[in-house]
């Protein structure tokens, strides 16, 4: 009798824990989507303020940023895998490591990202006036050389 009672309690506890874990995952997915939307809105607001865009331009820019958000935020396959492996197997020495892309794959990704940036810039040019776009391009040029790679 005690064994059956104990077994039923274990089963009930595992069901509750499983249901709780699933609801937390759902909340994290929704939160992640909300954070991305907030990030797009903040980026748009900064650009509106920096370049003096009117309401119509701001709406167009927000729509453009929402469109390109997924393309710019896409990560290469395998990123974040090391942290996941470490969490799953903290004491293991043989945790699998994410594969770095080959030189050809990295060049292909860089080419795609460059094409996406150029397409984005072309769309921004359609939205902004000539003066606004000139200021935008100047900012883009000034931002590039100042970037430094993180030392690992």
What would the mean pLDDT of 75-104 be, rounded to a whole number?
Answer: 55
Mean of the pLDDT values across residues 63-82?
65
> Dihedral of CA 130/123/60/30: which sign?
negative
* Burial per residue of 91-115, b for 16 or more beta-carbon CB atoms within 10 angstroms, e otherwise: eeeeeeeeeeeeeeeeeeeeeeeee
pTM of the model: 0.57
At 3 the pLDDT is 80
Rounded average pLDDT over 9-25: 74
Residue 66 has pLDDT above 80, yes or no: yes
Is residue 46 very low, low, confident or very high in pLDDT (cuts 50, 70, 90)?
very high
Please give the pLDDT value at position 145: 54
Distance of CA 95 to the CA centre of its chain: 25
Per residue in 107-134, pLDDT (tens digit) is 998 999 889 889 999 999 999 999 999 9
Better-scored residue on pLDDT, 143 or 55: 55
Share of the chain above pLDDT 70, in %: 68
- What average pLDDT does this structure show over 43-66? 91
- Which pLDDT score, from 0 to 100, does residue 30 have? 56
Residue 49 reports pLDDT greater than 80? yes
Alpha-carbon gap, residue 136 to 131, rounded angstroms: 9
d(CA 40, CA 37) in angstroms, rounded, equals 5
């Amino acid at each position: 009798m005690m064994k059956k009672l104990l077994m039923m309690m274990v089963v009930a506890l595992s069901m509750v824990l499983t249901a709780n874990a699933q609801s937390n995952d759902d909340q994290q997915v929704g939160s992640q989507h909300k954070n991305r939307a907030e990030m797009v809105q903040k980026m748009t607001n900064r650009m509106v303020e920096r370049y003096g865009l009117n309401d119509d331009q701001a709406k167009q820019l927000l729509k453009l940023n929402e469109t390109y958000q997924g393309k710019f935020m896409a990560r290469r396959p395998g990123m974040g895998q090391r942290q996941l492996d470490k969490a799953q197997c903290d004491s293991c020495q043989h945790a699998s490591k994410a594969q770095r892309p080959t030189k050809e794959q990295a060049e292909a990704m860089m080419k795609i990202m460059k094409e996406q940036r150029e397409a984005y810039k072309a769309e921004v040019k359609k939205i902004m006036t000539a003066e606004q776009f000139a200021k935008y391009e100047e900012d883009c040029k000034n931002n590039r050389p100042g970037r430094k790679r993180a030392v690992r």
